[in-house]
C-alpha cells in the first residue's frame, strides 16, 4: 500500500485521523490512523498506567487514610496556604543538610566551618522570612487579580456557566421564594450600585457585586427565618424516609441534606457554591499556587542570593579578615 506524502501531510496526528481531502481526486486514498504507533507505545503506556495506579493506591490513598494525615488534618484546619509551608519545609531540610555537611567537613578548620554554617543558616532564615512576608503582603492584591482573572474566564466561557443545570435550578429556587422578576433584580442592582454595568442578564463585569449581594442575602434575617422553616420541613421528611426504610429493612436510607447557608469569602467559594464550574476552581487554586511559588522562587533563588547575600558575603569577608589580622598581631 502506497501512502503519498500529501496523504500523510493531511492527517491530524493528534487524533490519529485523517481529514477529508479537499481534492476529490484523492478521496479514496488510504487513511492513516496511526495504529502502528499505538501498537508500539501501547505496552509502555499500559506499564506506565499500572505504575501510576500503583502510586495512587499505595502512596496517595494510604497517605490520605493514614494516622499521620488524620492528626495533621485535625491540627491544620485553619491553615490556608499549604504550598508556602511545603516550600519552606523543603528548603529547611536541604539547607539543614548543607549546614550539617559543612560542619562535618574534616577538610575545613573550625573557624571556616562556623562561618560557612552561619552563612547557610542566615541565608535560609532571610529567605524564609522574606518569602513569607512578601507572600502575605501580596495576599489582598493577588485576591483582586484573581477576581479579575475569574471575571475574564467567566466572560469568555459564559456558556459553561449559563448552561449549568445546578445554577439554573438555584435561579429557579430564588425566583420561587422571592417572586422577583429578572427585570427587578437588575433594576435593584443598578439602583444600589450605580457603577454596575447595565445588563439584562448575568455579566462577569459585575462579579464582585454579585458576590457581595450573595453575602448580603445569606446574612439577611428574612433568609435565615426561611432556612429555619425549610430545615424543619426537611427534618420531617427525613423522619418519614427513615420510617419507610425501617419497614423495607434498609439500614442506611439516603436522607435529604439540610440547607446550611454560608457566606462566601472569595471567588473560589462563590464558584463552588453558586457558579459551580469545575475548571474555574482548579484555575483559581492555580492562581494561589502560582503566586506563592513565584514569590518563594524569587526570594530563595534570586533576591536573597543575588541582591542580599552577595553584599553580605563581602561584609563577612571583611570582618573575617579584620578578625584574623587582629589574631596575627596578638
Partner 1 sequence: MNLTITNGYNDLKSGSHSRLKHPVVGYERKSKSVCESIDNSSMNFNGSFTGKSDTAVKVYKDLGKGFWDKIGRSERFNKILKMFEERSVVSQALVALVVAGILRPITNLAMAGKNDREDSIYAASHAIASAVVGFVVSYIVMAPFDKAFRKLKENPKKYLTSENLAKTLGVPEIGKRKLEKSQAYKNISKMAQMIPDSIVMGIPKAMLTIALIPPVLKYVFGIEKKPKNAVKQDDTQVPKNNLESNNFIEQPKMENFSGGKH
User: Which residue, 8 or 94, has its beta carbon nearer to partner 1?
Assistant: 94
Sign of the CA dihedral 205, 207, 209, 210?
Answer: positive
Nearer to partner 1, 23 or 220 (CB): 220
Q: Can you tell me which of 140, 262, 326, 330 binds partner 1, judged by CB under 8 A?
A: 262
- Which among 5-13, 18-26, 34-42, 177-185 is the span making contact with partner 1, rule CB under 8 A? 177-185
User: In angstroms, what is the minimal distance from the CB of 37 to partner 1?
Assistant: 20
Q: Rounded to an integer, what is the distance from CA 219 to the centroid of its chain?
A: 27
Beta-bridge partner residues of 18: 11
Residue 193 sits in the site that holds partner 1 (CB under 8 A): yes
Supply the DSSP string of 118-155, one letter for each residue.
HHHHHHHHHHHHHHHHHHHHTHHHHHHHHHHHHHHHHH
Rounded-to-integer distance, Cα 93 and Cα 72, Å: 19
296 binds partner 1 (CB under 8 A): yes
Please, how many CA atoms are within 13 Å of residue 61, restricted to the half-sphere of its CB? 7
Among 40, 100, 175, 243, binds partner 1 (CB under 8 A): 175
Residues binding partner 1: number (CB under 8 A): 154
Residue 21 vs 210, nearer CB to partner 1:
210
Interactions with partner 1, residue window 107-126 (CB under 8 A): 108, 111-112, 115-116, 119-120, 123
Q: Tell me which DSSP letter residue 200 carries.
A: S
Among 26, 46, 246, 324, binds partner 1 (CB under 8 A): 324
- Residue from 103, 122, 170, 190 binding partner 1 (CB under 8 A): 170
Smallest gap from residue 222 Cβ to partner 1 (A): 2
Task: Please pick, from the candidates 4, 33, 45, 220, the single residue that binds partner 1 as defined by CB under 8 A.
Answer: 220
Q: Closer to partner 1 by CB, 103 or 272: give it.
A: 272
Exposed e or buried b per residue across 112-148, where buried means at least 16 C-beta atoms within 10 angstroms of its C-beta: ebebbbebbeebbebbbebbbebbeeeeeebbeebbe
Alpha-carbon distance of 142 to 148, in angstroms, equals 10
- The window from 19-27, 36-44, 233-241, 243-251 that contacts partner 1 (CB under 8 A) reads 233-241
Q: Are 116 and 102 in contact (CB under 8 A)?
A: yes
Figure out which of the listed residues 43, 328, 329, 330 binds partner 1, where binding follows CB under 8 A.
Answer: 328
Site for partner 1 in 67-106 (CB under 8 A): 69-70, 72-74, 76-77, 79-80, 82-83, 86-91, 93-95, 97-98
Hey, which residues between 51 and 70 contact partner 1 (CB under 8 A)?
Answer: 51-53, 55-57, 59-61, 63-65, 69-70
Which residues of the chain form beta strands (DSSP E)?
11-12, 17-18
Q: Give CA–CA dist 21/17, Å, rounded.
A: 12
Amino acid at each position: 500500500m502506497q501512502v503519498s506524502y500529501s496523504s500523510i501531510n493531511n492527517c491530524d496526528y493528534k487524533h490519529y485521523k485523517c481529514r477529508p481531502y479537499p481534492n476529490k481526486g484523492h478521496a479514496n486514498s488510504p487513511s492513516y490512523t496511526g495504529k502502528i504507533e499505538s501498537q508500539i507505545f501501547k505496552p509502555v503506556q499500559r506499564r506506565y498506567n499500572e505504575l501510576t495506579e500503583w502510586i495512587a493506591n499505595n502512596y496517595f490513598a494510604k497517605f490520605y487514610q493514614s494516622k499521620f494525615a488524620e492528626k495533621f488534618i485535625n491540627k491544620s484546619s485553619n491553615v490556608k496556604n499549604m504550598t508556602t509551608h511545603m516550600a519552606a519545609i523543603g528548603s529547611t531540610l536541604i539547607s539543614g543538610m548543607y549546614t550539617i555537611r559543612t560542619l562535618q567537613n574534616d577538610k575545613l578548620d573550625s573557624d571556616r566551618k562556623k562561618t560557612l554554617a552561619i552563612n547557610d543558616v542566615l541565608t535560609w532564615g532571610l529567605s524564609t522570612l522574606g518569602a513569607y512576608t512578601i507572600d502575605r503582603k501580596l495576599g489582598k492584591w493577588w485576591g483582586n487579580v484573581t477576581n479579575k482573572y475569574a471575571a475574564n474566564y467567566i466572560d469568555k466561557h459564559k456558556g459553561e456557566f449559563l448552561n449549568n443545570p445546578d445554577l439554573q435550578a438555584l435561579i429557579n429556587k430564588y425566583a420561587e421564594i422571592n417572586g422577583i422578576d429578572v427585570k427587578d433584580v437588575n433594576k435593584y442592582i443598578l439602583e444600589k450600585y450605580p457603577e454596575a454595568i447595565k445588563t439584562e442578564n448575568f455579566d462577569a463585569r459585575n462579579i464582585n457585586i454579585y458576590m457581595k449581594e450573595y453575602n448580603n442575602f445569606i446574612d439577611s434575617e428574612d433568609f435565615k427565618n426561611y432556612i429555619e422553616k425549610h430545615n424543619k420541613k426537611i427534618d420531617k421528611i427525613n423522619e418519614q424516609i427513615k420510617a419507610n426504610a425501617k419497614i423495607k429493612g434498609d439500614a442506611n436510607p439516603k436522607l435529604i441534606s439540610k440547607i446550611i447557608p454560608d457566606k462566601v469569602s472569595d471567588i473560589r467559594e462563590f464558584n463552588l457554591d453558586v457558579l459551580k464550574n469545575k475548571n474555574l476552581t482548579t484555575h483559581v487554586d492555580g492562581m494561589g499556587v502560582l503566586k506563592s511559588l513565584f514569590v518563594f522562587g524569587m526570594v530563595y533563588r534570586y533576591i536573597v542570593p543575588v541582591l542580599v547575600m552577595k553584599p553580605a558575603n563581602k561584609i563577612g569577608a571583611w570582618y573575617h579578615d579584620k578578625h584574623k589580622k587582629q589574631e596575627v598581631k596578638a
